[in-house]
Chains A and B, each alone.
Chain A
Amino acid sequence: MKQKTLFTVAVVCLIAAFIAGVLLYASQSSHLSEAKRAVLMRADAPSEGKAGAPVVIVEFFDPACGTCREFYPLVKNMLHLHPTRIRVVMRYAPFHNGSDKVVAVLEAARKQGKFWPALEALFRAQPDWVQNHTAVLDRVWGHLEGLGLDLDKVRADMNAPDVTNVIAQDLAAAKTLNVTQTPEYFVNGRPLPSFGWEQLQDLINSELHATR
């Protein structure tokens, strides 16, 4: 009997300690530390929305990631609803095999002012060029035709040192910010409490409200 009581008390204490830990951790991590804030933005990262918009969403994405593809129109819609109040900054997190090359293509397209059309075309055609969770560069080119891109220039630019440097910089930032899966969002420097469209929407709405 005494043993059963001891065991029960121990189970309750362990669960209580775990929950207390979760709550304590959540209250401490709703804002990023200074060091993490410093790497959150990259000035020349592709972005959309008004420059001085009060709500800045930083999205770490992988063009080969299916969830990024699904979230893209939702975030885009949010931006259309509040064009003057939201800005979206895209940062590269090529976690899939081979997708660092595709990210390089995007960055090369950005040099021609075609980042967004190229990204949309790639997301649309994703099932074709992502095979078994691996990005196949050879299958990408066909989907970029008709966007007014100079593909020869893209091929040349994608291996340029500044492009490689940008990707390395974004991957380093992702590591510092503990971004291990895509898409990952930071709204005005605040990470998602847990992953999900509803949580992202809530966070954006609370920031829209707070900056009104």
Chain B
Amino acid sequence: MNTTEPSARTRNETAWALVFGAWLVASISALGALFLSEVMHLAPCVLCWYQRICMFPLVLILAFGLFPFDRKVSRYALPLAVTGLLIAVFHLLLMAGVIPESIQPCTRGIPCSEKTIEWFGFVTIPMLSAVAFSTIIALLIAAHFRSSK
């Protein structure tokens, strides 16, 4: 038994917990998105769909990275999470009116600049999405540095 092994094991366990946290956030977000569209029948706009395209696969990719634990999982999951965050930020700017209406890529049925939900006066769907993607990115970066080289 060499002396660094227990420490490497703990480091890997912490990394596992961080990836597990990221998976949990992704799963809650994916189920939440499904709840909004399938149960509350709020039709997702085009930008929402692009964010879903980034979020849904994370549930599966991160789960497969957990069993057996693959410390390279961040490498595969981060590009999706970063893309999702960029789209969410674009969506937020569009809603805030920073980006003009004319360049919004949405059909007239469901404009992306429309707020379908406003909880407590400030929580909107793209805001939840941006928070979720940021959390996942932070957890995955932490997991990457925690896992033993």
Q: Which residues of A contact B (CB under 8 A)?
A: 3-4, 6-7, 10-11, 14, 17-18, 21-22, 25-26, 95, 178, 180
Residues of A contacting B27 with CB < 8 Å?
A: 10-11, 14
B16 and A3 contact, CB distance less than 8 A: yes
Other than the known A3-B66, A3-B69, A25-B40, what 9 A-B pairs have Cβ atoms closer than 8 Å? A3-B16, A3-B20, A10-B20, A10-B24, A14-B28, A14-B31, A18-B31, A180-B41, A180-B110
State the Cβ distance, A171 to closest chain B Cβ, in Å: 11
A6 and B41 contact, CB distance less than 8 A: no
A178 and B39 contact, CB distance less than 8 A: no
A10 to B23, CA, bound (A): 10
Q: Count chain B residues whose beta carbon lies closer than 8 angstroms to a beta carbon of A.
A: 19
State the Cβ distance, A95 to closest chain B Cβ, in Å: 7
Cβ 8 A contact of B39, one of A3, A10, A22, A95: A22
Interface status of B123 (Cβ within 8 A of chain A) = no
Q: Which of B9-54 contact A (CB under 8 A)?
A: 16, 20, 24, 27-28, 31, 34-35, 39-43
Interface status of B67 (Cβ within 8 A of chain A) = yes
State the Cβ distance, B38 to closest chain A Cβ, in Å: 9
A15 closest partner in B (C-beta): B31
A3 to B42, CA, bound (A): 36
Interface status of B121 (Cβ within 8 A of chain A) = no
A-B contacts, 5 of them at CB < 8 A, read: A3-B16, A7-B66, A7-B67, A10-B20, A180-B110
A212 to B1, CA, bound (A): 82
State the Cβ distance, A23 to closest chain B Cβ, in Å: 10
A178 to B41, CA, bound (A): 8
A95 to B43, CA, bound (A): 13
A4 and B67 contact, CB distance less than 8 A: yes
Interface status of B6 (Cβ within 8 A of chain A) = no
Q: Mark B79-94, 1 if CB is under 8 A from A, else 0.
A: 0000000000000000
A23 closest partner in B (C-beta): B39
A34 to B34, CA, bound (A): 27
Residues of B contacting A17 with CB < 8 Å?
A: 31
Residues of B contacting A25 with CB < 8 Å?
A: 35, 39-40
Residues of B contacting A178 with CB < 8 Å?
A: 41-42
Residues of A contacting B97 with CB < 8 Å?
A: none
Residues of B contacting A7 with CB < 8 Å?
A: 20, 63, 66-67
State the Cβ distance, B35 to closest chain A Cβ, in Å: 6
State the Cβ distance, B115 to closest chain A Cβ, in Å: 13
A97 closest partner in B (C-beta): B108
A14 to B109, CA, bound (A): 32
6 pairs of A and B residues whose beta carbons are closest in the complex: A180-B43, A18-B31, A22-B39, A25-B39, A14-B27, A21-B35
A120 to B122, CA, bound (A): 47
State the Cβ distance, A33 to closest chain B Cβ, in Å: 14
Residues of A contacting B43 with CB < 8 Å?
A: 180
Residues of A contacting B34 with CB < 8 Å?
A: 18
State the Cβ distance, A94 to closest chain B Cβ, in Å: 11
Residues of B contacting A14 with CB < 8 Å?
A: 27-28, 31
State the Cβ distance, B139 to closest chain A Cβ, in Å: 15
A7 to B66, CA, bound (A): 9
Q: Mark B44-74, 1 if CB is under 8 A from A, else 0.
A: 0000000000000000000100110100000
